[in-house]
């Protein structure tokens, strides 16, 4: 296996080489099982475009088998009725520990599959996934109902919070394990039985950790992984009458299909979608910190983040100064294969298709009069086989152009000047999205004013990108429905039952 990777790569761990050596099958009812059609698809290394592994291509019959397994585990109570809340906590905690024990392996899998630097996967994605599970491991014993002081004196009324049931979790490729964990950790803590459909580009880590769930003590059928294409495996879950809820992260376009596909049994749907986050730098900010922070606000994870600060608004009096700081910081970013022995800051974008999409936006912007400050090209030389895009800063962009309105989901920022606070509030909010927004200022009053005025689910002030398991996260407008993380995610994965008892 190892010899098909470039010599510049770190050595594959034996567990990784073994895992990739054979076709990797869906995990259903506590074991890896062959797909019913016998079909597979390939997952590729975006740093080279080369084959990585063969994956079971799940279709309707496989989805039926996964739903049946999850249904049985849920309806027969293996997870949330027969097992105590305390024991469920321990399973989730043990899964977090096992992810830490296997962290080097999982980091290699995510780095190979997504292209992100190995050290990023190892120090950010994998530990954050474990942290998420540690946080939600505390929840099963704390999900409570309430007693309600109803009017009739001979009535006692209380509520129970119960799991929704069988939940399909459809996740994207940008943080392969982490985005799946954002969903399955609270869903499991709330007592649901789950089926994860990882993105076709990055199925490896979810499939690998599936077997750890058995070691952690999860009963069969509680945690299933159904790899495949969105239109096949994903759509089969969305339309399935045996599925009670879909949790989805991805594009607004697919979200619309999911809402339409869910109508048959009116299943619950929660959506965490894209963004075009405004990042506003005021002249009174610490401009050096703002320039560095704004660089990582957009280029972190190669711009492939739903919270990427892709609309950078800079107060006109400091426009040149901040732009210069941004340019200097951007030119220091090192881009290369995620699995290289050499340490890079960023890897490739996810796929050839996505590279073309990103470059299409850049080319359209340039044709409409935008000007490149740095970047603007696909990378060549040693990197020509992979999907590498130079971190790109564009100026002379008008608010109404597509590059300033649509989610590029790549390393491209539009830097635009502004003059007044009220003007920038209006321009920042003039978007279909509302996931995140940020600002840089030393003026506390201005900071609070904008924190209230900006229509987005997360506001960052003099910082960017912070998320934590305990703090709610989600979108206004077309950035989604519902809030993940924190207590809010427990609400998202539970139903409330009201119980009335006549006492005399």
* Position among 88, 102, 197, 483 found at the interface with ligand NAP (CB under 6 A): 197
Q: Determine if 361 is a binding residue for ligand NAP (CB under 6 A).
A: no
Examine the residue annotation and report whether 306 is marked as an active-site residue of this protein. yes
* Position among 121, 306, 359, 437 found at the interface with ligand NAP (CB under 6 A): 306
d(C-alpha 390, C-alpha 187), whole Å? 38
Annotated catalytic residue: which of 232, 306, 315, 407? 306
At residue 174, the 3 state secondary structure works out as coil
Q: Determine if 258 is a binding residue for ligand NAP (CB under 6 A).
A: yes
Applying the rule CB under 6 A, the residues between 397 and 436 that interact with ligand NAP are 407, 409
The encoded tokens of residue 21 equal: 């050596």
Q: Determine if 116 is a binding residue for ligand NAP (CB under 6 A).
A: no
Question: Based on CB atoms, which residue is closest to ligand NAP, 125 or 407?
Answer: 407
Q: Determine if 484 is a binding residue for ligand NAP (CB under 6 A).
A: no
Contact 176, 114 (CB under 8 A): yes
Contact 475, 457 (CB under 8 A): yes
Question: DSSP code of 379?
Answer: -
At its nearest, how many Å lie between ligand NAP and the CB of residue 173? Answer: 5
The encoded tokens of residue 171 equal: 């996740």
* Position among 251, 321, 374, 462 found at the interface with ligand NAP (CB under 6 A): 251
Q: Determine if 349 is a binding residue for ligand NAP (CB under 6 A).
A: no
Cβ within 8 Å of residue 437, ≥6 positions away: 277, 278, 279, 280, 428, 450, 454, 456, 458, 459, 460
DSSP run (H or E) holding 65: helix 60-75
Question: Based on CB atoms, which residue is closest to ligand NAP, 353 or 430?
Answer: 353
Annotated catalytic residue: which of 272, 315, 407, 484? 272
At its nearest, how many Å lie between ligand NAP and the CB of residue 358? Answer: 8
Nearest alpha carbon to residue 54 among 86, 29, 20 = 20
Nearest alpha carbon to residue 213 among 88, 56, 80 = 88
At its nearest, how many Å lie between ligand NAP and the CB of residue 275? Answer: 7
At its nearest, how many Å lie between ligand NAP and the CB of residue 409? Answer: 4
DSSP run (H or E) holding 210: helix 204-215
Q: What pairs with residue 414 in β-bridges?
A: 311, 394
Question: Based on CB atoms, which residue is closest to ligand NAP, 257 or 487?
Answer: 257
DSSP run (H or E) holding 354: helix 352-367
Q: Determine if 176 is a binding residue for ligand NAP (CB under 6 A).
A: no
Q: Determine if 200 is a binding residue for ligand NAP (CB under 6 A).
A: yes
Contact 66, 224 (CB under 8 A): yes
* Position among 274, 278, 336, 474 found at the interface with ligand NAP (CB under 6 A): 274
Which residues in this chain contact ligand NAP in the complex, by CB under 6 A?
170-174, 197, 199-200, 229-231, 234-235, 238, 249-251, 254, 257-258, 272-274, 306, 407, 409
Give me the active site residues, please.
Answer: 272, 306
């Amino acid at each position: 296996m190892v010899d098909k990777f470039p010599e510049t790569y770190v050595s594959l761990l034996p567990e990784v080489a073994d895992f990739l050596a054979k076709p990797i099958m869906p995990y259903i009812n506590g074991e890896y099982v062959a797909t019913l059609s016998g079909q597979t698809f390939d997952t590729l290394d975006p740093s080279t475009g080369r084959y990585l592994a063969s994956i079971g291509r799940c279709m309707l019959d496989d989805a039926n088998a996964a739903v049946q397994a999850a249904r049985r585990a849920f309806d027969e109570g293996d997870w949330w009725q027969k097992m105590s809340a305390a024991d469920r906590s321990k399973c989730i905690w043990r899964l977090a520990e096992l992810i830490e024990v296997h962290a080097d392996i999982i980091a290699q899998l995510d780095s190979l599959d997504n292209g992100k630097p190995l050290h990023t996967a190892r120090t950010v994605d994998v530990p954050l996934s474990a942290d998420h599970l540690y946080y939600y491991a505390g929840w099963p014993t704390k999900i409570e109902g309430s007693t309600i002081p109803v009017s009739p004196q001979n009535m006692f009324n209380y509520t129970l919070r119960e799991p929704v049931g069988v939940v399909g979790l459809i996740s994207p490729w940008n943080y392969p394990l982490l985005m799946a964990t954002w969903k399955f950790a609270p869903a499991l803590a709330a007592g649901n039985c789950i089926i994860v459909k990882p993105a076709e580009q990055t199925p490896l880590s979810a499939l690998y950790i599936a077997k750890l769930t058995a070691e952690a003590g999860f009963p069969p059928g509680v945690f299933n992984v159904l790899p495949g294409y969105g239109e096949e495996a994903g759509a089969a879950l969305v339309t399935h009458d045996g599925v009670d809820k879909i949790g989805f992260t991805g594009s607004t376009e697919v979200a619309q299909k999911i809402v339409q596909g869910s109508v048959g049994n009116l299943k619950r749907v929660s959506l965490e979608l894209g963004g075009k986050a405004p990042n506003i730098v005021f002249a009174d900010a610490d401009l050096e910190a703002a320039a560095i922070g704004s660089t990582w606000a957009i280029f972190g994870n190669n711009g492939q983040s739903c919270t990427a600060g892709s609309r950078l608004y800079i107060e006109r009096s400091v426009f040149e100064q901040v732009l210069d700081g941004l340019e200097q910081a951007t030119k220091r970013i090192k881009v290369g294969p995620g699995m290289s022995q050499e340490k890079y800051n960023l890897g490739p974008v996810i796929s050839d298709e996505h590279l073309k999409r990103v470059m299409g936006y850049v080319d359209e912007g340039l044709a409409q009069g935008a000007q490149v400050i740095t970047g603007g090209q696909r990378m060549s030389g040693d990197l020509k086989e992979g999907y590498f895009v130079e971190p790109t800063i564009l100026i002379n962009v008008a608010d109404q152009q597509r590059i300033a309105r649509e989610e590029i989901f790549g390393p491209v920022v539009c830097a635009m000047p502004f003059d007044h606070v009220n003007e920038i509030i209006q321009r920042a909010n003039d978007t279909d999205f509302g996931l995140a927004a940020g600002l840089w200022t030393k003026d506390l009053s201005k900071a609070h004013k904008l924190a209230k005025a900006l229509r987005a689910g997360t506001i960052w002030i003099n910082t960017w990108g912070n998320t934590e398991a305990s703090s709610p996260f989600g979108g206004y407008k077309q950035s989604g429905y519902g809030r993940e993380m924190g207590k809010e995610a427990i609400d998202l994965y539970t139903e409330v039952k009201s119980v009335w008892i006549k006492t005399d």
